[in-house]
Amino acid sequence: MVGTGYVGLVSGACFAEFGHDVVCVDKDESKTARLLRGEIPIYEPGLDQLVADNVRAGRLSFTTVLADAVPGSAAVFIAVGTPSRRGDGFADLTYVYAAAEEIARTLDGYAVIVDKSTVPVGTGRQVQRIIRETRPDADFDVASNPEFLREGSAIEDFMRPDRVVIGTTSDRAREVMRALYRPLFLLETPIVMTTLETAELIKYAANAFLATKITFINEIADVCERVGADVQDVAKGMGLDGRIGKKFLHAGPGYGGSCFPKDTRAIAQSARQAGAPLRLVETVIAVNEERKRAMAERVVAAAGGSVDGATIGVLGVSFKPNTDDMREAPSLDIIPALQQAGATVQAFDPAAVHEATKLLPDVRWCSDAYEAAAGADVLVLLTEWNEFRALDLERVRSLLARPIVVDMRNVYRQAEMTAAGLTYHSIGRAS
């Protein structure tokens, strides 16, 4: 497993749990040293235990030396980062291609080189070409095996996926991939066996569709507010139609994270280059960006038209619960906009404070939700961590300077807020 980022580490640990021997390689010496000491560099529930168990069982190890990992492997996964390239939004494939070249140099027998990173259509063929050029004598095939893990439930998503997608170029590669995922086939997990290009596109199409679904319900939420409807009931009424499905219809402050923003930009860019622009996805990207920016204005409106000199308490800054990931989190748009409008921001997050401190200067970091509420003119619930779902509302009321709550995740109901003496604003529900 080349790359011990989020995808590489979770996949490596899970393949080891399936009973395979896994060697994870990462150039980053300090990260590898931490992993060797049993420290997990990311926040993912259950991952520390899974890594520890498999290291102890002798199935999982870590190294910085690629040549210690590749020879003798049936499959070599490329799970390095593919960030958005500055300027054009295209996926930056430098790390993928560098890994392919290095892997080629150390190949000793037949191996399947598998792209696990989310990569644009055509990358698998390019990896194949690079390996062939670097090592004309190499015996290998290339495969694409996109991951569909959600941060916060990555292990469950790996162990019990809705489907496994595998794109290959030969029967031999197909058999290797089948053997790797054998435990899942015993559970009757559907597999989509297809070509390299199709597998690569499935991943982007799935993420673009989910981002579209979220953006759709977010716009419906805006309509609900204008006409006095309730977006949660609309989502329920729509979602019970099996053709629509109820998931990913939670209205909120706009999608963020390391995947949807990056992948929607990348597929829009590739599609344009291919001469088949995805106008719908391009609109989704623009609407979501505008939405994140517009969320600060809601707080200003809730405060009565100005937050100049006001204190705003914020609950949750990570892009979603159960992660310390701050990438493209709505908080990164909302908090600076409030500060620029003259507000002082005090915030609490159960996991992301360390990450957030670097990205959100001048925020006063609190040690729990109640401290973030203390003395605030408005309390904003931005990320739906479980511990914010059952706040003592009477206590919140007594701590706030003004009794105003803006709930951007629709965690509470109007009636309970009113009963506690709080003025309540939420998303897509008549206040």
Nearer to ligand UGA, 72 or 190 (CB): 190
Q: Residue 213, annotated ligand binder?
A: no
Rg (CA), the chain: 23
| Minimum separation from the CB atom of position 304 to ligand UGA (A) | 27
Number of residues that bind ligand UGA (CB under 6 A): 21
Range in contact with ligand UGA (rule: CB under 6 A) among 82-90, 222-230, 258-266, 268-276: 258-266
Q: Is 353 in the site for ligand UGA (CB under 6 A)?
A: no
Nearer to ligand UGA, 59 or 213 (CB): 213
Per-residue interface string for the shown chain with ligand UGA, residues 212-231, x marking contact by CB under 6 A: --x-----------------
Range in contact with ligand UGA (rule: CB under 6 A) among 128-136, 147-155, 188-196, 350-358: 147-155
Catalytic sites, residue numbers? 259
CB atoms near residue 111 (< 10 Å): 23
| Minimum separation from the CB atom of position 220 to ligand UGA (A) | 12
Q: Is 250 in the site for ligand UGA (CB under 6 A)?
A: yes
Nearer to ligand UGA, 248 or 365 (CB): 248
Nearest CA among 380, 410, 378 for reference residue 225 = 410
238: buried, middle or exposed (CB in 10 Å: 19+, 13-18, 0-12)? Answer: middle
Q: Is 150 in the site for ligand UGA (CB under 6 A)?
A: yes
Binds ligand UGA (CB under 6 A): choice among 8, 252, 313, 428: 252
Q: Is 266 in the site for ligand UGA (CB under 6 A)?
A: no
Q: Is 255 in the site for ligand UGA (CB under 6 A)?
A: yes
Q: Are strands 140-144 and 164-168 parallel, antiparallel or unpaired?
A: antiparallel
Q: Is 385 in the site for ligand UGA (CB under 6 A)?
A: no
- 145: CB partners within 8 A, 6+ apart: 77, 114, 115, 116, 164, 165, 166, 167, 177, 199
Binds ligand UGA (CB under 6 A): choice among 5, 256, 313, 403: 256
3-state secondary structure of 406: strand
Per-residue interface string for the shown chain with ligand UGA, residues 104-133, x marking contact by CB under 6 A: --------------x---------------
Report residue 195 as tokens: 């070509």
> Per-residue DSSP letters for 245-269?
-STT----S---SSSHHHHHHHHHH
Nearer to ligand UGA, 162 or 362 (CB): 162
> Per-residue DSSP letters for 170-200?
SHHHHHHHHHHTHHHHHTT--EEEE-HHHHH
C-beta of residue 180 within 8 angstroms of C-beta of residue 20: yes
> Per-residue DSSP letters for 74-143?
SEEEE----PBPTTT--B--HHHHHHHHHHHHH--S-EEEEE-S---TTHHHHHHHHHHHH-TT--EEEE
| Minimum separation from the CB atom of position 398 to ligand UGA (A) | 30
Nearest CA among 289, 355, 349 for reference residue 321 = 349
The binding site for ligand UGA (CB under 6 A) comprises: 118, 147-151, 207, 210, 214, 248-250, 252, 255-257, 259-260, 263, 319-320
- Please give the annotated binding residues for NAD(+), written as ranges: 26, 31, 82, 118, 151, 262, 327
